[in-house]
Amino acid sequence: MTTYNSVKVSSRYQIAIPSAARRAIGIQAGDQLLVDVQDGVIVLIPKPSDYTAHMAGLYKEIWERHDTDQYLTDERDAWQG
C-alpha cells in the first residue's frame, strides 16, 4: 500500500524529505540526489558516488541464456562486412 506524505514548498522553493522516505532509501544529510521529472511526477534518486559500481550487474538476467563471448564476436564480425 502506498503511503503519501505532504510537504510544503518554502519561499526559496525548498522541501524537507519526510523521515520515512529518507529511511526507505537510506539517504543522509549531505547526500546528493538526482532530480527527474516523468510525466509530471518529480522523482528523487540518490546520486551514486561511483556510477560504474552502481551499474555493474544491471540487467544481467537478459544475458543469462546467451553466450556473451559469441555475441560480441558476431557483432564485431558484422561491423567488418
**pLDDT, tens digit, 9 for 90 and up, residues 21-48:** 999 989 999 999 999 999 999 999 999 8
Domain extent listing, the chain: 19-80
The runs of H, that is alpha helices, within the chain are: 19-25, 51-55, 68-80
Query: Strand pairing partners for 34?
Result: 45
Output the average pLDDT for the chain. 90
Q: Does the model's pTM come out above 0.75?
A: no
Q: How many CB atoms lie within 10 A of CB 45?
A: 11
